[in-house]
Structure 1
Amino acid sequence: MNEYGTLHESNGRYVLRFERSFHQNPEDVFLMITKPSSFAQWYPFATGEMELRLGGKIAFDDGEGTTYEGTITELEKPYVFGFREVDDLVNISLKAEDKGCRMIFTHTFNDDSWAINTAAGWHRCLDVLVQIINGKPIQWQDNPTELRKIYSEAFKLEDLNHKMI
């Protein structure tokens, strides 16, 4: 499985899609994804304040004086967790597989000018999520420049119209 994300165009918006496989079952992975204290460790700007229910709020703080909240739009324990953050949609789905599960993470947004930086950022965040789920100490890799180069080469934005989700 390719750990790099892919970029697609869908209904005039852009979608970053990542997959990760885990040895743990969907229940255990879902708990680590949605538990407010672990969510705040891997998700950018999350404060750890979350109402885990459909329509529940998630608090964010960019660390520079801007606070905002997201709204949980999908919640099917232990398989689907989705929310709106400003105009963006984030969806995390888990599928039982062999002796574990596969996670599909998507981020839907409007402006492709941030696609490369956003993909590099999510790549790093999901690497930390994998560490959390596997009970490893969190180590943020110092690889954003390398990841931006990889995603810049992979995302030929003019080719997006030929790719559909």
Structure 2
Amino acid sequence: MNPHSDTLRTADGRTALRMERRLAHPPEKVWAAITDPAQIEQWFPSEVTVELRPGGAMTFSMPGVSGVAMTGTVTDADAPRLFAFTWGEDHLSWEITPDGDGSLLTLVHTFGDRFGGASFASGWHLCITALSQLLDGESTAVYPDSGALHEAYLEQFDLGQGTVEDTADGPRIRFERQLVRPADAVWAALTGGDEPAPGEPAPEGFTAEKVPGGPVTEVRASEVLAYRWHPEGTVRWELRRGTGHGPRLVLTQTGPRGFDTATALAAWHSRIEHLAARLLED
């Protein structure tokens, strides 16, 4: 189960995660394991119902959680070759091809949230590991990701880079990154345990080398902190809802035309990488 064989591609606002695994079992056996609800629930963390035909309905319910279920529609059901369906706004395609005395299983998960790619990849990595164990007749005991697998995929897919956008008010640096610890833990790491208040200097954790600090202009614990680094510029940290592992960090820096965006971009990249490494250690 080598994550380095997996790919992430984005085009026209949609992202496709592609994962391939060779399984030592014939296509018919693999087909049953990915389409039979009794087998699916042994490797996938949801109870699934499916009408196994194109246009058939699907539901996905978390065990022990009532009243909340996602729905989908089967788009392809060509046994034992192709099983595909929608899952909310996403689309999943499972293709099985004969490979010697076994099978090659190819999953393509298409979605809109590019920065959730490492979360989806690490989640499917664990699911397919459990699927392989099930096919081998072993216990499907897979340990949850501590965050290390997520971070390995994030690095592989190069999801930690920032961008510089040109706006009517000047340039804006933007980073978006999925984090691997709860928002309260991220906030504590950034504040150092001292709660900031409007008008006070921004805590060191929210600053970066070669980017001046300044007075806090907005703060909501575990959600938002913004400060003025320049009379015409603001740094803003937001911890938004994420994809399973923790909050989604969105960091922006705005400033006057002509400010050194290249230096600031590198400084913020280094700062966020340091934060991510510390969270992983914790």
Class of the TM-score when normalised by the shorter of the 2 chains: 0.7 to 0.9
TM-score, reference length from structure 2 = 0.52
Q: State the superposition RMSD in angstroms.
A: 1.8
In the TM superposition, 1:6-155 aligns within 5 A as 6-45=7-46, 47-62=47-62, 63=65, 65-155=67-157
Contact kept in structure 2, 1:121 and 1:144, CA below 8 Å: no
Q: Find the residue that maps to 2:138 and give its secondary structure.
A: coil
**TM-superposed deviation, 1:64:** 6.6
Deviations 1:106-145 (CA, angstroms, capped at 9, x unpaired): 1000011211111111111111111111111111124341
Query: Which residue is equivalent to 1:156?
Result: 158
Contact kept in structure 2, 1:57 and 1:70, CA below 8 Å: yes
**Large movers: runs of 4+ above 4 Å:** none
Unaligned 5+ runs, structure 1: 159-165
Query: Which residue is equivalent to 2:217?
Result: none
Q: Find the residue that maps to 2:147 and give its secondary structure.
A: helix
Aligned equivalents of 2:153, 2:3: Cα separation in 1: 12
Q: Which amino acid aligns with 2:140?
A: I
**TM-superposed deviation, 1:83:** 0.2
Contact kept in structure 2, 1:120 and 1:144, CA below 8 Å: no
Q: Which amino acid aligns with 1:24?
A: H
Q: Which shows bigger deviation, 34-43 or 5-14?
A: 5-14
Q: Find the residue that maps to 2:25 and give its secondary structure.
A: coil
Structure 1 residues 144 and 123 mapped into 2: Cα distance closer, same or farther (>3 Å)?
farther
Aligned equivalents of 1:154, 1:98: Cα separation in 2: 30
Q: Which amino acid aligns with 2:101?
A: K
Bigger relative contact order, structure 1 or 2 (CA pairs below 8 A, ≥6 apart): 1
Aligned equivalents of 2:99, 2:51: Cα separation in 1: 29
**TM-superposed deviation, 1:3:** 4.4
Query: Which residue is equivalent to 1:161?
Result: none
Deviations 1:2-61 (CA, angstroms, capped at 9, x unpaired): 44432111343101111111121111110111111111222232x232211111112112
Q: Which amino acid aligns with 2:121?
A: A
Aligned equivalents of 1:102, 1:144: Cα separation in 2: 28
Aligned residues: 157
Aligned equivalents of 1:147, 1:37: Cα separation in 2: 28
Q: Which amino acid aligns with 1:118?
A: F
Aligned equivalents of 1:128, 1:120: Cα separation in 2: 13
Deviations 1:67-106 (CA, angstroms, capped at 9, x unpaired): 1211100111001000001110000001111111100011
Q: Which shows bigger deviation, 135-144 or 11-20?
A: 135-144
Contact kept in structure 1, 2:3 and 2:153, CA below 8 Å: no
TM-score, reference length from structure 1 = 0.86
